[in-house]
Amino acid sequence: MSFDVAAIRKEFPILLREIDGHPLVYLDNAATTQKPQCVIDALVEYYTTNNSNVHRGAHRLADEATRNFEAARDIVKDFINAPAREEVIWTTGTTEGINLIANGLGQLLSTGDEVIATGMEHHANIVTWQQACKRAGATLKIVPVTDQGDLDLEIYAELLNERTRFVAFPHVSNALGTVNPIKEMTKMAKAVDAWVLVDGAQGAAHAKVDVQDIGCDFYAFSGHKIYAPMGIGVLWGRAELLENWPVWRTGGEMISTVTLQDATWNVLPHRFEAGTPNVADAIAMGEAIRWLQSLDHEAVVAHEKALLDHATNLAEAFEGLTIIGQAKHKIGVLSFVMDQGHPADIGFLLDRQGIAIRTGDHCAQPLMARFGVPGTARASFSIYNTLEEVDALFAALKKVRSMLA
C-alpha cells in the first residue's frame, strides 16, 4: 500500500481554509489534530439517526446507540492490543485518565512510599502525582532530562528501589518530541514491583501501541490527537488492578446495588464510567481509529519522519534559531527559540502568514526551566502535512526574523 498525501488532504475539509488570504498551514498537531470527513460524518450520523442514551433503553434507538458505542470500545481494544475489552475505560481524555489513577493511588500509598515521574512531563502527568504524594505522605522522585532532551536512564535506575510503588512517564514528550524507551523503563520498574503508567497522549498519534508488549499497567491517551473529537479519551488498565482500584466518580451506571445507607460497584468497564457517557464522540473515535488503521502504517511513519528530518535540516541552517530538544529518537515535533523575538511574537507573526504553530511552555514548565527558556515555538507535524508546508514555515520565519530584527 502506498501513501498519497494529496489524497489524504482531500479528506480534511478544514485544510481548504485560508487565513488572511493565505492557505492554512496547520502545524499544531501535537495540540490537536484536524478531523477527516468520515469522523465528522460519524458525529452527524449519530445525532441524526440514533441519538439516545446507552445500555438501559428498551427501544430501537438505544439499542443501536449501545451497539455502536460498544463496537467503538472493541476497536480501541484492538488498536492497543488490550487483553480484554473490559479494560478499556472511556474518559474525557488523557488528563482524566491519569487523574482517575492518581485519585486511587493517593488512597493506596503510605508514608515512606515513593513515586517516580520525569522532568519532561506534561503538567497532567506530574501535578497529579504531586497531589497524590502529598495526600499520602509519600515522596515524589524525578528522572532528569539530559542536554539532548533524553531521560537519564542511569539516574532512573538509581532512583528505583524497594520503596518505589509507582512510576509514570510519557511515551513521547509533547514539548520535545523525544520518544522514550518505555518498554525498557517498564521492565526496570517491574524489577522492583512498581506499577507503571504511560502517558500516551503523543505516542498513540504516531507509534503503534501494544500494551501487552510494553508491559505497563496503565496507558492513557486522547481522541483529539488521533483525528477524533475533543472530549473523549481512553484509559487502559490491567483488569486485576482496575477491579480493586478505588472508584473515581460515583453516580449512575457505575453502581451495582444502592440502598439509602450504602452502595456496591458495577463490574468493569462500567465501574469507572459514571453518568451519561460521551456516546457520539466515542463512536467517532472508533471511526477515527478505523480510518487511521486503513492507512499503510510504515508509509505514514516514513512520511512523518521525512517531514521532521526536512524541518530539522532547515532549522539547523537557519541563522539565529536554536532547536530545543535534539534527542536521537524523535517524532513529529520541532521546538525552537529565536534570537529575535519572544515565541509568542513569532507565533503571532506566523499566523498573519497563515501558519498555525503552538507557542508557550506547552504545559511543561519544569522542562522549560530545565532548558532555561520561558517557552518555545513548536511546529508539530501530522499525516496531512507536506514538505512544501515545511518550506513555507521557514520562508515565513525569514520574514519574521526581518520584522523582529
CA distance 111 to 158: 21
CB-based contacts of 315, cutoff 8 Å, min separation 6: 321, 323, 334, 336, 394
CA distance 257 to 265: 7
Task: Answer yes or no: are the C-beta atoms of 217 and 197 closer than 8 Å.
Answer: yes
Q: Which residue from 243, 231, 241 is spatially nearest to 282, judged by alpha carbons?
A: 231
Of 38, 133, 216, 363, catalytic: 363
CA distance 264 to 279: 25
Q: Please, which residues bridge with residue 196 across strands?
A: 167
Position of cell 521525512? 306
Q: In the numeric block, which cell numbers belong to residue 27?
A: 502545524
**Is the Cα torsion angle 25, 31, 37, 43 positive or negative in sign?**
negative
Mark whether 216 is an active-site residue: no
- Residue 255 one-letter amino acid: I
Express the helix, strand and coil content of the chain in percent, nearest 5 each.
Answer: 45, 20, 40
Give the 3-state secondary structure of residue 387. Answer: helix
CA distance 255 to 98: 22
CA distance 269 to 195: 20
- Burial (CB < 10 A; 0-12, 13-18, 19+), residue 162, is exposed
Q: Please, which residues bridge with residue 19 across strands?
A: 22
List, by residue number, the catalytic residues: 363
